[in-house]
A and B are shown apart, each in its own frame.
Chain A
């Protein structure tokens, strides 16, 4: 009884709010995961009584067709990770540790692909390197007098290439973060011990950032394995399927089988969650703590003449990941028609006016903006409360809440969407915008939470406590001390989520119904059912919205926020 009274005396607003949020977040995450597992263990044939069985695993998942798609997933993910790892590490090192010209200018543009939709990137690359209608194919054909097309993106190499380009910034963020946090004295003592710049780089700098490289590689691999838009755009036209496209194929059409889709989803989730788990338990604890308080600038490696080679490499990356695809898409979007050649005589804005007048796409723009704004707001409120419960609370379930609330990070969008579809299909939420909202929040709340958490961890708890001992209640303390101090982090988190939601594809495509289209779904619909020029125009609208929000984000947050 004493315990209960004590609890009540202490609990009050703080525990009610943070504890309640914890329960809600745990339910949001755990119910779809449980439903997914449950569905995967059942067989529900039309006209037969449903029963429990492992047959979706033993027969379906192990069938040659599905094994081939699993092989494809592993292959393209490994390839893309290798390529993105090399690109990202090289870019990071040249920016953070060398005297390459133009470093300051290049840094923000190198991150642009991070904010863009890989799906739209894949579409843009199809304008560049599709057989027959690819711009690059046309140029190279003309230049070298070839009779056939030298390039095609509609194969595994194309998928690897586009994935690598778009996940290079993830790698870049991890490695620059680690390089910037490193105590320069570590490198300086190698120098004063008698090793030269390059030897120091090889024997001290790179080994010290290797945990960050490894962390980045795991995250890129997991993201690629869960990526849906790129293999959909580049693989399915020539029947190259991956796990994510198969999961999607089974949710509609003649092959519809939710049990099989759930089983394959579970296998994919098991793969990605295992990797994330290894990362958290094995890689992170081994990361060297190299942070110190002193802010000396590290000495830069003088690349000599090679610094122009480094610059050329940087420019090459930007051309491939940003300039060429976006220019191609823009040119397509202002063309009257697209047959692989830019015709300066036949330019028009009609495609854009079509986008804003055709009901489906006009609706999609509005739905996306609405969902992004509402989703980001709700996510940040939840994120605040969860981060508070984890880092400032004293409840027993803190470690558990931390685990559960970050679990969705390990789940590919299409997998979590599958769980959400199964969970909410029989509720009134289905076929309203609410189910998309719930999907977005469930999948992406952890990103907001990590932003708030890193901001919260950099604030001394004594700042809150001195408000309490000054006579302010918990609520007053949150309102007058914590919120103002966390404001930059919360705003940055809001904008990041806003961007993510504007371009979100796998969850949207699985959960939408007619009337609930969002931007990515409209792009997909236009690619399938309308002309290339109109598809390019919708995609450009999305890119422009994303870029505006990204510029605002960059004003508010440093790059450190992204790798946190």
Chain B
């Protein structure tokens, strides 16, 4: 497949710290790929390598088939000749220039004629909704507006690739959500191939065509948002993306069609329990981690006939979260978390029954890690 941006065997160490460890992936033309992971996982370093701001120790990066960085061939194209727009976390809006000057800068250094620059800047400012701030000093603007200036500046020269380095992390929650939607709209409208770095899983799920979950400089899982959320490939991904109840156990038998299996899980060292869970291709003897999202767990004073797996327990805490209640239920030494609609509340100390739908009990082979 011909990826527009292609990273092969990328490695970058800072002293003894290995930030990126032989990483390979591609981004298709016009798509937006997110590198998602905790801080220090190497996602920003990877992005900076693509931009030409970091010198990788090994590996090759191509854009549109053209090598940008290739340690083996001795190729290193400096950042200014890569045609890559970058939106930084700190906005990096120049305080000594007006909004207009900031946004015009990339065209100015490309020696565009003045009239054309003015026309194009106005166009782009319109696009990001900043037209009325055109002649103000950029640092007088709010954080959200500054980040739009940065975005306009990155877009204006029609770069081949747009790189986002945690662009929304410095903004407050409301603004973050609003700008998130806007970035998706702009990216679709302009159709620029983009790489987006974030530690915020909600942001990644909304924005991306493809997500790469990274840890310790390696890929833990790659796929679209739905696949990663519904079928985490390993313990790290299950814990990092959303919340998950994790139970370790062993497959005892295949249980009929649709990839269901019987699993015996340990609630506590003494107490084992048999569950029906989902594991296409799973067979007896496999050691697994069963992951169940709290919102998939059913809770009630009495069991319902339709529930696949039933567990009895005592509510330890019930926290009202507005649209749902966050329950911690003690089940024979294990704590299970459940998110349920706040219409049928259970009280703390109450005996309840939990239902775990077999399809939502996802088995992850134990010891699975990066692909």
Residues of A whose CB lies within 8 Å of any CB of B are: 1-6, 9-10, 12, 394, 460, 462-463, 465-474, 476, 480-481, 484-485
Contacts and interface: CB of A to CB of B under 8 A. Distances in A.
A468 B79 contact: yes
A471 B106 contact: yes
B95 A476 contact: no
Closest 8 CB pairs of A and B: A5-B74, A462-B92, A470-B106, A468-B79, A2-B74, A466-B92, A462-B88, A472-B109
Given A462-B88, A471-B157, A10 B96 contact: no
A391 to B, nearest CB: 15
18 contacts: A2-B72, A5-B74, A6-B71, A6-B74, A9-B77, A394-B55, A463-B94, A465-B86, A465-B92, A466-B150, A467-B94, A469-B51, A469-B53, A470-B80, A470-B85, A471-B81, A471-B83, A472-B109
Contacts of A4: 74
A485 B95 CA distance: 8
Given A469-B85, A470-B106, A476-B109, A6 B92 contact: no
Contacts of B74: 1-6, 9
Interface string B90-123: 1010111000000001100110000000000000
A302 to B, nearest CB: 38
Contact of A471 (B53, B88, B90, B110): B110
B82 A472 contact: no
Contact of B79 (A394, A469, A484, A485): A469
Contact of B80 (A9, A469, A480, A484): A469
Contacts of A470: 80, 85, 105-106, 109, 153-154, 157
A6 B76 contact: yes
B109 A485 contact: no
A468 B53 contact: yes
Nearest to B163: A469
Interface in B125-151: 150
B78 interface: yes
A465 B85 CA distance: 11
Contacts of B81: 471
A485 B139 CA distance: 13
Interface of B: 51-53, 55, 71-86, 88-90, 92, 94-96, 105-106, 109-110, 150, 153-154, 157, 163
A244 to B, nearest CB: 42
Nearest to A6: B74
Given A470-B85, A474-B78, 8 more contacts: A2-B73, A2-B74, A6-B76, A10-B78, A465-B79, A469-B80, A470-B105, A480-B109
A10 B88 contact: no
Q: Which of B79, B90, B153 counts the most A-chain CB atoms under 10 A from its CB?
A: B79
A462 to B, nearest CB: 4
A473 B73 CA distance: 23
A469 B90 CA distance: 15
Contacts of B77: 9
Chief secondary structure at chain A's binding surface: helix
- Max chain A Cβ within 10 angstroms of own Cβ: one of B92, B96, B110: B92
A468 B78 contact: yes
A474 B53 CA distance: 12
B109 to A, nearest CB: 4
B101 to A, nearest CB: 10
Given A5-B74, A462-B92, A472 B84 contact: no
Contacts of B80: 468-473
Contacts of A465: 51, 53, 79, 86, 88, 92
A10 B53 contact: no
Contact of B75 (A1, A9, A468, A485): A9
Contacts of A474: 78
Contacts of A480: 105, 109
Nearest to A459: B95
Nearest to A467: B105
A480 B74 CA distance: 30
Contacts of B110: 471
Contacts of A9: 74-78
A481 B90 contact: no
A77 to B, nearest CB: 40
Given A10-B78, A471-B80, A472-B105, A462 B94 contact: no
Given A476-B109, A481-B94, A469 B82 contact: yes
Nearest to A477: B80
A484 B79 CA distance: 21
B52 to A, nearest CB: 8
A471 B71 contact: no
Contact of B153 (A394, A460, A466): A466
Nearest to A460: B90
A308 B95 CA distance: 44
B75 A471 contact: no
A293 B3 CA distance: 43
A474 B75 CA distance: 18
A283 B94 CA distance: 36
Given A6-B76, A469-B80, A462 B55 contact: no
Contacts of A471: 80-81, 83, 106, 109-110, 157
B267 to A, nearest CB: 44
A266 to B, nearest CB: 35
A62 to B, nearest CB: 46
Contacts of A473: 78, 80
A404 B105 CA distance: 37
Contacts of A466: 86, 88, 92, 150, 153-154
Contacts of A481: 94
Nearest to B96: A484
Contacts of B83: 471
A533 B83 CA distance: 70
Most interface-central of B71, B76, B110 (chain A CB within 10 A): B76
A168 B320 CA distance: 61
A271 B276 CA distance: 77
A465 B52 CA distance: 10
A515 B89 CA distance: 58
A465 B49 CA distance: 12
B76 A10 contact: yes
Contacts of A462: 88-90, 92
B180 to A, nearest CB: 21
A159 to B, nearest CB: 48
Contacts of A469: 51-53, 79-80, 82, 84-86, 154, 163
A14 to B, nearest CB: 9
A475 to B, nearest CB: 11
Contacts of B157: 470-471
B332 to A, nearest CB: 44
Nearest to B153: A470
Contacts of A467: 94, 105
Contacts of A484: 96
B296 to A, nearest CB: 41
Nearest to B53: A465
A460 B165 CA distance: 14
User: Chain A CB within 10 Å — which of B71, B78, B81 has the most?
Assistant: B78
Contacts of A476: 109
